Amino acid sequence: MKESAKELRWISDKREARRSVLEARASGKRIGLVPTMGNLHVGHASLFRQARGETDVVVATIFVNPIQFCPGEDFEAYPRTPKEDREICNAAGVDIVFAPDVAEMYPTGACTRVQVGELEEPLCGGNRPGHFVGVATVVAKLFHIIPADAAYFGAKDYQQVRILRQMVEDLDFPVEIRVCPTVRESDGLAMSSRNRYLSQEERRQATILKRSLELADALLQQGEKNATRIRQRMVDLIQTMNRAEVDYVEIVDPDSLQGVQSIEGPVLAALAVRFGKARLIDNAVLQRGQ
Ligand code: AMP
């Protein structure tokens, strides 16, 4: 990884962050925004690099957003590693990190929320009520604080991207949403900050997620069009692992996120599975003949 020539700026004040970005824009620079919750890994770095290649000033945000965690979830335990994050940002050519604290983002009395209709209900919305309202609200705020030309998100969080695209369209945010492919470990497990919750045995078993997506693809290529049957084969495969607890496995329309019966065009196979303390998600867009 190339060390960036310029000094990384670490800003926690939202007015200062906005001022810095507006100054860069005024001098004709294109701004790329990469929202994260920190504990950065190679997946996040791939977003920074894509932003680096397409824009002039890369702004990463690091904020563990309390309102997107449901009661009983891992908000307190979520790993916070600012020192290591700084190194990854430096190495990936990030120019500015905006890392506010909770009071900076949600001062006393803040109560406005952004809700993106029915797209928030299926898939992760079912198991994590209120999660996407929290995501849409914080990203809307970040779009105002960091007026970017393009914002970069990972395909791993497919439903998040779908919801944010809708929000951008509905609320006329002047920002282009860019989606980057999921970065995986060599055995196929999608990189995630939550992988560190896995024990050695759970980590070994978690490779079943990617393999279940590959099974779905193989069945589709063999001519199986019945989504229920494919879904059941995926569940059966995942359940060969004794530490796996399935939250959901679904085959849905990639646009509406509603379940499909007979697979004619592209579909999204999406899943969330718990291994011990870790709730892992993964997905693949599948199409016959690919
Ligand atoms: P997070 O810090 O988990 O909220 O993720 C911040 C951004 O990084 C989101 O847009 C994620 O979709 C993206 N991301 C997380 N893991 C990966 C990965 N393995 N590959 C690509 N992007 C990722």
Phi, psi of 265 (to 5 degrees): -105, -155
Cα–ligand 1 centroid distance for 20 (angstroms): 25
- Compute the distance between CA of residue 94 and CA of residue 81 in angstroms, rounded to an integer: 17
Active-site residue list: 44
Take atom 18 of ligand 1 and give the residue whose Cα is closest: 43
- Compute the distance between CA of residue 220 and CA of residue 68 in angstroms, rounded to an integer: 35
Q: Express each pLDDT in 72-107 by its tens digit.
A: 999 999 999 999 999 999 999 999 999 999 999 999
In 3D space, the residue among 17, 146, 8, 154 whose CA is nearest the CA of residue 86 turns out to be 8
Scan for tokens 């809307």, then name that residue. 140
Q: Is 135 in the pocket of ligand 1 (CB under 6 A)?
A: no
- Asked if 264 and 225 count as a contact pair (C-beta separation under 8 A), the reply is yes
In 3D space, the residue among 59, 80, 33 whose CA is nearest the CA of residue 176 turns out to be 33
- Compute the distance between CA of residue 208 and CA of residue 270 in angstroms, rounded to an integer: 13
Cα–ligand 1 centroid distance for 23 (angstroms): 28
Residues 6+ apart with CB under 8 A from 252: 122, 123, 258, 259, 260, 267, 268, 270
Q: Which amino acid is at 166?
A: Q
Q: What is the pLDDT of residue 82?
A: 98
Q: Is 151 in the pocket of ligand 1 (CB under 6 A)?
A: no
Q: Is 137 in the pocket of ligand 1 (CB under 6 A)?
A: no
- From 34, 40, 46, 47, give the residue whose CB has the most ligand 1 atoms within 8 Å, as the site to mutate: 47
Q: What is the pLDDT of residue 196?
A: 96
- From 75, 156, 194, give the residue whose CB has the most ligand 1 atoms within 8 Å, as the site to mutate: 156
Cα–ligand 1 centroid distance for 6 (angstroms): 25
User: How do 31-36 and 267-275 pair as beta strands?
Assistant: unpaired
In 3D space, the residue among 191, 181, 235 whose CA is nearest the CA of residue 213 turns out to be 235
Q: What is the pLDDT of residue 1?
A: 41
Q: Which atom of ligand 1 is nearest to the CA of 184?
A: 19
Residues β-bridged to residue 119: none
In 3D space, the residue among 55, 54, 56, 78 whose CA is nearest the CA of residue 66 turns out to be 78
Cα–ligand 1 centroid distance for 227 (angstroms): 28
The tens place of each residue's pLDDT in the chain, 290 residues long, gives 444 457 899 999 999 999 999 999 999 999 999 999 999 999 999 999 999 999 999 999 999 999 999 999 999 999 999 999 999 999 999 999 999 999 999 999 999 999 999 999 999 999 999 999 999 999 999 999 999 999 999 999 999 999 999 999 999 999 999 999 999 999 999 999 999 999 999 999 999 999 999 999 999 999 999 999 999 999 999 999 999 999 999 999 999 999 999 999 999 999 999 999 999 999 999 999 86
- In the chain the first and final C-alpha atoms are separated, in Å, by 33
SS3 144: helix
Q: Is 44 in the pocket of ligand 1 (CB under 6 A)?
A: yes
pTM value > 0.85: yes
Give the number of other CB atoms < 10 A from CB of residue 196: 13
Cα–ligand 1 centroid distance for 61 (angstroms): 12
- From 33, 44, 183, give the residue whose CB has the most ligand 1 atoms within 8 Å, as the site to mutate: 44
- Asked if 237 and 208 count as a contact pair (C-beta separation under 8 A), the reply is yes
Give the number of other CB atoms < 10 A from CB of residue 107: 8
Phi, psi of 136 (to 5 degrees): -60, -40
Q: Express each pLDDT in 239-264 by its tens digit.
A: 999 999 999 999 999 999 999 999 99
- Compute the distance between CA of residue 151 and CA of residue 79 in angstroms, rounded to an integer: 24
Q: For 201-236, give the DSSP string.
A: HHHHHTTHHHHHHHHHHHHHHTT--BHHHHHHHHHH
